[in-house]
Structure 1
Amino acid sequence: MSELTDELEYIFDWLKSTNLEMADCYNPGLTRQQIDKIVKDLPFKLSEEIYELYQWRNGITDLGFNNYYPLVEFLFPDQLFSSSPTSFCTLQYSISNYHDLWQLEQSTMMNKPYDNYTGWDQKWFPIASFENKRILYIVGDLDPSPIYLIDYIFLDNPLRVYKSLTNMISVIAECCELGLYQLIPDEYGEEDDMIIRIDEEKLELEKSIYRKYNS
């Protein structure tokens, strides 16, 4: 296995090792031929890392209500910036979402809200999203591509930039290994809902791990 797949498996094993009744809520991975067929109409090429990601798993499945649902979305944790997880999208949904975002951008460009408006670029491809308010995206035709975490209303000011998907997953895996994440009740959820968050006393360590892989 490659470094990326090794780290993805490490994170998933870490999730399974918790004392929770968790199921594998990710869809089975796709073949390269299936990915080629799904992405054939994109106006750019996806990086080998993105192919590897979707060969590992094809996003998270919709299980409906589940007390521990936020935990299985932990693959792309957003707990530093929001209490809501950023869901790992299926490739089919990412394609649909990409076209929706680009269509919206074309409409917006016809009537810019202000002179220096910077909108959604045609080569930005979303791989994870929380209601399109917060998005993880890669840049088409770059291999490897940086990973950008953004608030949609602040497109020109990313919350974080990772050098690559492998670098981002390596940060998350090392945080798991060093025990930076803690399981706590979700104060905004239903009774017994739980979420995983960075231990507030270890925020500086998380930032140093981020810099280690992305300086």
Structure 2
Amino acid sequence: MSALTDALNRIMEWLQQNSPICASGFQPGLSPEEVEEKLGEIPFCVSREVHELYQWCNGTNDRCGVFVYHYLLDLDTALQYSQGFNDSYWLEVRERDGDPLHLFLIFDFDGEYFAVTGSDNLNDTAPIFHVGCDDGSLSFAFTNLTNMMLALAECYETGVYTVASDGYVEVTDEAKFGDIRRKHNPGAVKQLYAQGW
């Protein structure tokens, strides 16, 4: 079992034990052939980690996030959103700013995303960027999908995330989350949000 799948399973185990309402929002994964066919629709390659993620789970409902509030887009929606975010306007903006040209949006919360970079070649891993909802600004958030999920699994298991009275997961310690995120992702931005994440 890969480190990515192991981390995802740790997250699911925690959710099943502590927030069944959120655990029930995870959709079954797709076959390798389905993932390959769908990802073949985009004009760049995404990492093998993204292929593995969508074989493990094809999205969560929008009330149950993996990264607390950010839910995993199902692959068809991710393709649709990513198409718009890789049009000529956005490519020009990112080229001008020296940012990665191709982005594949995988996590969403009200128009704020986490996206994996795309490339001309199929790579095992790729960096994950936070995409601001107001201006599409990019912040280097995670070194790759595996390290993102390792950080999130640790947050679940160490009490950084807890279950609220309504059964949904919330963050209890933003600063500790930031410490864990940076531990697993050296070189990432110091803070994603003002509270210390």
Q: Tell me the TM-score normalized by structure 1.
A: 0.73
Match of 1:172 in 2: 152
Given that 1:162 and 1:168 are in contact with CA atoms closer than 8 Å, whether structure 2 keeps it comes out as: yes
CA distance in 2, matches of 1:129, 1:121: 19
Match of 1:126 in 2: 105
What residue identity is the alignment partner of 1:198? V
Given that 2:99 and 2:138 are in contact with CA atoms closer than 8 Å, whether structure 1 keeps it comes out as: no
Aligned partner (choices 168, 171, 178) of residue 207 of structure 1: 178
- Please give the root-mean-square deviation of Cα atoms over the aligned residues, in Å: 2.8
Pick closer, same or farther for the CA change 1:194–1:128 going to 2, 3 Å: same
Match of 1:81 in 2: none
Match of 1:64 in 2: none
Pick closer, same or farther for the CA change 1:6–1:119 going to 2, 3 Å: same
Q: Tell me the TM-score normalized by structure 2.
A: 0.79
The CA deviation string for residues 7-66 of structure 1, in whole angstroms up to 9 with x for no partner, is 1011011011116555522221111111111121211111110011000011124xxxxx
Match of 1:106 in 2: 89
Structure 1 segments unaligned to the other structure (5+ residues) = 62-68, 78-84, 186-192
- Give the % identical residues: 27
* Aligned pairs for 1:1-215 within 5 A: 1-18=1-18, 24-61=24-61, 70=63, 72-73=64-65, 75-77=66-68, 85-103=69-87, 106=89, 118=97, 122-131=101-110, 133-141=111-119, 143-158=124-139, 161-184=141-164, 193=166, 195-200=168-173, 203-215=174-186
CA distance in 1, matches of 2:90, 2:161: 41
What residue identity is the alignment partner of 1:213? H
Deviation at 1:4, TM superposition (A): 0.6
Structure 1 residue runs of 4 or more that deviate by more than 4 Å after TM superposition: 19-23, 116-122
Deviation at 1:151, TM superposition (A): 1.1
Given that 2:44 and 2:102 are in contact with CA atoms closer than 8 Å, whether structure 1 keeps it comes out as: yes
Larger Rg: 1
Given that 1:118 and 1:156 are in contact with CA atoms closer than 8 Å, whether structure 2 keeps it comes out as: no
